[in-house]
Structure 1
Amino acid sequence: MASMALAVAAAALPLSTPASADPAATDATGDTTVTVDASAGLGTVDPAALGANTAIWDGYMNDPEVASLYRAAGIGSLRYPGGSYADIYHWVDNTAPGGYVAPGTDFDAFMGTVRASGAQPILIANYGSGTPKEAADWVRYANVTKEYGAKYWEIGNEIYGNGVYGSGWENDTHADKSPNQYAREVKAYAAAMKAVDPTVRIGAVLTMPGNWPDGVVAAGDTADWNHTVLAAVARDTDFVSVHWYPNTSSGDQSLAVVRQLPGELREVRSLLDRYAGADSARIGIAMTEANSNAGGGAFTSRPNGLFAAEAMMTALENGVFTVDWWDTHNGAGAISTVNGETDHGDMGMLSNGSCTGGVCEPAVNTPFAPYYGIKTLGALSDPGDTMVASGASGPEVSSHAVLRAGGDLSVLLLNKSAGAAHTVDLRYAGFTPASGAPDVQRWAPGDDGPVDAPGTATAASATLAPYSLTVLTMHPKSGTGSSAATVGAPGAPRTTAVAADSATLSWPAATGPVDRYEVYEQLGARSQLLGSSTGTSVTIPNLPAGSRHAVNVLARDQAGRLSRPSVPLTFTTGTPGGSTCTVSYRVTSGWGNGFVSDLVVSNVGPAAADGWTLTFDWPSAGQSVSSAWNANVTSQGQRVHVTNGEDNGRLAPNGGNSATFGFVGGNDGANPSPTAFTLNGTVCRTIS
């Protein structure tokens, strides 16, 4: 069928969400409102979504009890042979020169645990002291000889920590330790490994945007690690691997810093879009190590359990297919007391029975708080479920929601306050709960792990204990919701054309008798109808230049019922090619939480500009300007206002000259480049 182009001004569109039941709208009594939009899809839960790291120096890693605990928590991926040890490890004889290898931790023993737990492996090929042939031989043994079907293979661990940026903890015996050399080797590893098994998926190591050494350019290089590596290998890899250890001083700060994660992951995807183009959609993002790294303790105590749930679910909602907790067992560290609870300073999810200064951990394999946080996520969703948008009105409560395969809706409510309970009113769009109490699972102080708590909440209201996780699971009202629709979800949408003020989208048809398709933009926990079509494409007009949009496509059946949402699509409009001005924005150096930028402003119109004002918006709330040269720069929130300096106020016509200025900035989290600049009221063409 032909597409339908819509001529509707975006600014004039009404805020529209699919029909909903709103049980909390008329009897709100809580201090916080949580809104769930079951039509705003955030992606599908992958079988490998919840993961854990294992390590060959861990003598307990293959205990039968560990496999049972993995299975009980819903852990679907296990990473081996253990962080930086991967770059000294030789799989064929289970050795790690310079390190300790515990008995019974060889590859086959590990795969026994993988199979017993129902998980899948994520394997790290030795880059530091290995070769492409050694990695290819491992693939042959794993997938041809033993038929393990190992799918995911990373090339090295944190190779950017090989000393090229001044700090070296990762083994790398290559004479050339530059990102260019790593990129060359990734191509060689990928070719050798796929020659053995073309189905394996190869992962390249990236730095996490906004975290050192992101933005740092080493002597002799022309760009930082991420830009250098992706420019060379974006089309040769199947996924990229990042690690996230936010540096904070307490568990509460760790919980708060999760707000940075969506922006940092958007920047990873933006880099993939830039270097892989249309191929970007097939490249996954894996967060193969994560923990709070809280400087003030809070590793085994309750705040880190909440952090595990909050950070892992946030990552999954923002395009990550697996999040692997560091670590299964790790070892006791500095002892502290957190809200009356002993924290053993151990970054593992299970005890290994070690001691610090006479203070010993509980018995080996006793779960710590992070295990319970992850187990709560296992109760929230299963592989194949659809994550959907939700949001809370108060800062101490957060929420996550999943539309289950059978039509049920599960909602995770997290109370981040150590001392205050919160009562939550729940509201829904795109979902009508059935009458009757929901199923409730809770992990609160005093609970020995997540426990069933029937009768403690309704579909409209729940009271959350301090420092608690609560999962509500509700059945849909009969005849309502996507489970009642006679059409399936449309296929993954893509952009076929993006201009400065419009975008054309297309998607594979849904199954079943479709009346029409509707495109909704995600606005937090709300959706705005952007357009509809009787065919499988639509043009959305009147979009602001340089604006970012996240959308889902839904099919409406002939009875008016909406399907599940498609996977999300994010796109950014361009800037006008025929503008009378151009702006070049370039980050010339960075150090993780700060940067230097140069800008060049040109007037390519027929009339001179005597005096100029440039405005732009930071894409991230954590970006700022601290000092500038050759211009006057002020900020109000995310809006930046620049006026000319003393010597560059006149811009000649037809590009006769340019005004160049720069500034030192700070970034709390990711540091994406601004997308649109306005010069004297005119939107300029942005030159990357």
Structure 2
Amino acid sequence: MPKVPLRAALAVLLTLAAFNAPATTAYASDDEPVHVAVNARAGLATVPETGIGTNHAIWDTNLGTNETADLLKDAGVKLLRYPGGSYSDIYHWETHTAPGGYVAPDTDFDTFMNGVRRTGAQAMVTANYGTGTAEEAAGWVRYANITKRYGIKYWEIGNEIYGNGHYGAEWEADDHPDKSPHEYARNVVAYADAMKAVDPTIKIGAVLTTPANWPDAIVAEGDSGSWNQVVLSTAGSKIDFVILHWYPGALDRTGHISDMIQLTREQIATYAGPGSERIGIAMTEFNTGSSSNGTNTQPGALAAADSYATLLANGVFTVDWWNVHNGIGEVTEVAGHTDYGDFGLLSSASCTSDGSVCEPPLNTPFAPYYALQMVGKFARPGDRFIRAATDRPEVAAHAVRRPNGDLAVLLINTSEDTSYPVELDYTGFAPAAGAPTVLTHTNGATSITSGSTGTPTAQTLPPLSMTTVILRPADPQAGRPGSPGQPKLTAVTGTTATLTWPAAKPGTRKIAKYEVVRQHGAVTEQLGETSGTTITVRNLKPGTRYTVNVLARDTGGAQSWPSAPLTFTTGTPADSSCSVKLTVQSDWSSGYVGSLDITNHGAPLDGWTLSFTWPRAWQSLDSGWSAVWTEDGREVRAVNEAANPTLDTGATATIGFVGNYSGPNVLPAVFTLNGTTCTTVP
């Protein structure tokens, strides 16, 4: 039976590729080549071993077949999740039963593991929280890792437990009388203790809500905070990773990902306690979730490739497609091909209820299968993502640098009818001359083709296509310095940040200095340099998020590859003539009530204006009170009411507003009062 994701759809004004372009980029006209900028000095996350994943479900009769396993291996799948979505919370592994649901033949745990091994992947198991116990989960660990020696590392506690009715919608089984996040977190601790007592090497994952997806940020009656706040505060010391699910409901949501992951990291850092940097992020269910725009045809595949690359570049350690086999849904015509509304990678050969339309033969790959395959060929474990950007919203670009010095660039053309010539420009990398290796998948194709076409700086992208360009370096790689270690933030103010990092390993010459660079799209700007391993960078902008890398340069001028990235946000002035405190009084996952306390620490004011800027284009003002509110684009102003213009020294004015959002809600961080930047009070 197919799973229908129960998500509130997000709305956003970004196109599929606009996220990749710097804010100052002017889009090219139709008769100009698309410009692609690749910056090897701007390092992002390293590609993990488990990056490309998918879900197996116990109602899928073909879960354990050799044909299915071999197809997944050919797609580059490195992680398989079991026993399948919401079924996890009714499934009992010892009896291989799921009361209230269908269990197909030949889908038991050992059959699943045989397929995992044939695929050459790792397993992720979801322990039954809804109708199970910690003892049952511990028994599963014992059987898997002690008795059978499967060595399963990743174990989730429950599926989408926030869907147990606590917030008003109920699709997830949960027999606990108390369905609050506190009760779930309390049980996560019990499960983790019982399971790690059997095998202390396993990693335990807890379910979180995904930023800007219901019921994220909602505080239910009787709770001390939102689901994420309560779960992380209570169980943070016991878990090793957190679990997000994302069904964006459209093909143009890639621009949400960076903020989605950053906000999750900030929640972990705020609530999970000391050592929370160890906690990883797993996207254990993902699908474009848009049958009308192409769930299993090429538009959906292009969105999948773009999302997988973006999620992995932002440090998610696995992205798991829903599902291997799923079943026919709404049948439509998309981009010249039949879209079966199927959320699977492979055809289940199912038919509509009236038998009028049937899918292709069993295990025929759908277009998203080739998206995963392309991403696996483009970004291999151990590669490091680097920044890439384009000047057309129809074209998205991603890039990785390989340990041997090679570069790979993934180009995605989402236009249905336009073939685009592309000019590629490189910073921090010089490609070798000659035609590069080019991998291509086009609309309706049943394989990825490989050839040597174009040049390192010029390619042509067919309509609705994925293209990977693999480049050899012109410069010798031997002898250059190693990358500096992971930088850490040791102090930050509104305008300065102090960083430190482990020294790089010298190459054939001594290291002369380290350079700290800031990423801005695919452009980097140097913030400072030093001969040591600590620096204070200055002249930063208050309330601004920065992502930086450190590079080493030797006495001969050779430069290392970049360190891992560090992301931080500057504060606001510690001493100012005003301060502002923003309090979110209530939130419903698409809007919130905000209260602003404005305190004057300077001379009395006879008339005042508070100003701030929405951090993202998907945020807007709905209404406001206790001031005269206006909005111009992303700029917001609140002017004192005519009857109450005075703000005396030491006095506080409280005003409020309703803010709307249709993507991750990054709160305003910088406020000015009559042009003066205020101290933002946490």
> What TM-score does the superposition give when structure 2 sets the normalisation length?
0.92
Q: Which structure 1 residue ranges, 4+ long, deviate > 4 Å from structure 2?
A: none
Structure 1 residue 661 corresponds to structure 2 residue 658:
no
* Change beyond 3 A, Cα 1:109–1:628: same
Deviations 1:234-266 (A, max 9, x none): 333211111111123xxxxx1x22222222222
Deviations 1:131-159 (A, max 9, x none): 12211221222222222221111111111
Shift of 1:485: 4.5
Q: Which amino acid aligns with 1:519?
A: V
Q: 1:561-576 to 2 correspondence within 5 Å?
A: 561-576=558-573
Task: Decide which of 595, 599, 617 is 1:598's aligned counterpart.
Answer: 595
Task: Decide which of 482, 485, 496 is 1:491's aligned counterpart.
Answer: 485
Q: Is the 8 A contact 1:676 1:686 kept in 2?
A: yes
SS in 2 for 1:653: coil
Shift of 1:51: 0.4
What is the distance in 1 between the residues matched to 2:309 and 2:643?
51
Q: Which amino acid aligns with 2:230?
A: T
- The residue number in structure 2 matching 1:674 is 668
- The residue number in structure 2 matching 1:187 is 189
What is the distance in 2 between the residues matched to 1:277 and 1:496?
17
What is the distance in 2 between the residues matched to 1:53 and 1:558?
51
Q: Which amino acid aligns with 2:66?
A: P
What is the distance in 2 between the residues matched to 1:679 and 1:200?
52
Identity %: 51
Structure 1 residue 469 corresponds to structure 2 residue 466:
yes
Q: 1:85-96 to 2 correspondence within 5 Å?
A: 85-96=87-98
Could you say what the CA RMSD is over the residues aligned between the two structures, in angstroms?
Answer: 1.7
Shift of 1:467: 0.4
What is the distance in 2 between the residues matched to 1:633 and 1:140?
61
SS in 1 for 2:490: strand
What is the distance in 1 between the residues matched to 2:563 and 2:43?
7
Q: 1:287-298 to 2 correspondence within 5 Å?
A: 287-296=283-292, 298=294
What is the distance in 1 between the residues matched to 2:488 and 2:470?
32
What is the distance in 1 between the residues matched to 2:186 and 2:303?
37
Q: Is the 8 A contact 2:578 2:601 kept in 1?
A: yes
Structure 1 residue 128 corresponds to structure 2 residue 138:
no
Task: Decide which of 308, 323, 329 is 1:327's aligned counterpart.
Answer: 323
* Change beyond 3 A, Cα 1:30–1:437: farther
Q: Is the 8 A contact 1:35 1:427 kept in 2?
A: yes
Shift of 1:67: 1.4
Q: Which amino acid aligns with 1:497?
A: A
- The residue number in structure 2 matching 1:454 is 452
- The residue number in structure 2 matching 1:147 is 149
* Change beyond 3 A, Cα 1:379–1:622: same
Q: Which amino acid aligns with 1:635?
A: E
- The residue number in structure 2 matching 1:22 is none
Structure 1 residue 352 corresponds to structure 2 residue 354:
no
Q: Is the 8 A contact 1:582 1:686 kept in 2?
A: yes
SS in 1 for 2:124: strand
Task: Decide which of 608, 620, 625 is 1:624's aligned counterpart.
Answer: 620
Shift of 1:336: 0.8
Aligned residues: 648
Deviations 1:10-51 (A, max 9, x none): xxxxxxxxxxxxxxxxxx995210000011111100000010
SS in 2 for 1:359: coil
* Change beyond 3 A, Cα 1:145–1:478: same
- The residue number in structure 2 matching 1:426 is 424
- The residue number in structure 1 matching 2:678 is 684
Deviations 1:388-421 (A, max 9, x none): 0000000100000011121110000000111111
What is the distance in 2 between the residues matched to 1:427 and 1:175?
60
What is the distance in 1 between the residues matched to 2:430 and 2:197?
51
Q: Which amino acid aligns with 2:566?
A: L
Q: Which amino acid aligns with 2:618?
A: G
- The residue number in structure 2 matching 1:201 is 203
- The residue number in structure 1 matching 2:49 is 47
What is the distance in 1 between the residues matched to 2:263 and 2:334?
34
- The residue number in structure 2 matching 1:178 is 180
What is the distance in 2 between the residues matched to 1:424 and 1:496?
42
Task: Decide which of 92, 99, 106 is 2:108's aligned counterpart.
Answer: 106
- The residue number in structure 2 matching 1:417 is 415
Task: Decide which of 439, 462, 468 is 1:441's aligned counterpart.
Answer: 439
Deviations 1:56-100 (A, max 9, x none): 110101111121112111111111110001111111221111111
- The residue number in structure 2 matching 1:371 is 369
Structure 1 residue 234 corresponds to structure 2 residue 236:
yes
Query: Unaligned regions of 5+ residues in structure 1, if any?
Result: 1-27, 249-253
SS in 1 for 2:253: helix
* Change beyond 3 A, Cα 1:649–1:137: farther
Q: Is the 8 A contact 2:498 2:536 kept in 1?
A: yes
Q: Which amino acid aligns with 2:660?
A: G
SS in 2 for 1:39: strand
Q: Which amino acid aligns with 2:342?
A: D
Q: Is the 8 A contact 2:236 2:273 kept in 1?
A: no
Q: Which amino acid aligns with 1:432?
A: A
- The residue number in structure 2 matching 1:388 is 386
* Change beyond 3 A, Cα 1:446–1:333: closer
Q: Is the 8 A contact 1:215 1:595 kept in 2?
A: no
- The residue number in structure 1 matching 2:6 is none
SS in 1 for 2:162: helix
Shift of 1:648: 4.7
Deviations 1:83-121 (A, max 9, x none): 001111111221111111111111111111111111111
* Change beyond 3 A, Cα 1:228–1:610: farther
